[in-house]
Every structure is written in structure tokens, then in C-alpha cells.
Structure 1
């Protein structure tokens, strides 16, 4: 059995990229899960993932537009996703968010 520590850097990057693609595909399929739910439960959301994508590009001297990264993560423009899938946060969701994010 191979261990993560025994992987060469290229193979590790390939596996991490595959995991990212799988996560993005999962989030694109689970449009019922709102960003506020992700923030309340996991401390990150689709927008955060988009920001991580932009930051990773910047580390390699690549300038990506945040909206382009969001389109990659959402599978469509953010405005389109909001119109089709975003619901108003409940009082409980907003309170949970406020309690954990100043």
C-alpha cells in the first residue's frame, strides 16, 4: 500500500487536483445546500473556495478574476446560481452565522 508521504510531488498535486474537482462537482450537484449552511457547519463556502482558487493562482503569478473562479466553482455565473438556487436565510441560520462570524 502506498502512503501519502511516499508520493512524489507531482502525484500528490494530481491527487489534490482530482479531490478538488470532485468537491466542486459535489457542490454543483448539491444546490440544496446553501452557502450559509456550509459556513455555519464547516466555516467555508463556495465563495471561500473561489477565493482559495484565486489565491492559489496568485501564488503562481497568475491573475484570475474572482468572478471567473466563482463560475468555475458554481458551474455557472454567481448571479445565475443565486437566482436559481439561493434561498433567504432563516432567522436560525442568520443567528448561527452571527454567533460564529464577527
Structure 2
């Protein structure tokens, strides 16, 4: 249920959807922003966005939701753009994820 005290919940769905699509398209162009780096900094990545749209009722399933966010099948995206995570990136991601524990 929306929180009527949060201005975000007062936005029309069409506005929120337009902003979400802009975010996704921005991430599609910024392949240099690796998922592991997004996770380390903000505690979410492209895959999280895909999971969230599926959990919100998109009915796509994991693979199709990730393809929708990445703009291509996940395995193709990984082969083209994903680099090997360093131990430092993994450590930052793990620390960042601890901050997500209280965020439903």
C-alpha cells in the first residue's frame, strides 16, 4: 500500500513509469557502470531492477525480466559487457548489501 506521506507515492504512475524507463535506458547506455560497482555503491543493480519489475507483477519470469532491463538476453549482455569482479569490488558489494537488510 502506498505511503501517502511520501511524495514519491503521490506521483502519477505514468510519471513514475517514464522516469523508470529513462533510468533503464540510461543504464543500457552506460555499460561501463558494472553491476558489481552499482551493487557496491548503491546496493542494487540492473538485475535487481529486473527482479523488482517481476515481483511487482510483470509476469515475465527472471530471464525475460532481465532481458527487458538489459535490452538483450542476460548471457549476451554478460559476454559483451561484464568484466570479472575484483576481490575489492566483491567486498564493497557485500558491505553495501548489509545496508539493504532493513529495506523490504
**TM bracket (short chain):** 0.7 to 0.9
After TM superposition, the runs of 4+ consecutive aligned structure 1 residues lying more than 4 A away are none
Deviation at 1:91, TM superposition (A): 2.2
Shift of 1:99: 3.0
Cross-structure match for 2:91: 95
Q: Name the larger-Rg structure.
A: 1
Please, what TM-score do these two structures have when normalized by structure 2? 0.78
When the two chains are superposed, the root-mean-square deviation of aligned CA atoms in Å is: 2.0
What number of residue pairs does the alignment pair up?
Answer: 91
State the Cα distance separating 1:101 from its structure 2 match.
3.7
Deviation, structure 1 residue 94: 1.6
In the alignment, structure 2 segments of 5+ residues that lack a partner are 1-5, 99-104
Unaligned runs of 5+ in 1: none
Provide Cα deviations, 1:16-74, integer angstroms capped at 9, x if missing partner: 000010000000000011101000111100010000000111xxxx6321111101100
Higher relative contact order (CA 8 A, sep 6+): 2
Please point out which of 73, 76, 79 is paired with 2:75.
79
Separation in 2 of the partners of 1:23 and 1:53? 13
TM-score by length of 1: 0.80
Tell me which residue corresponds to 1:38. Answer: 38
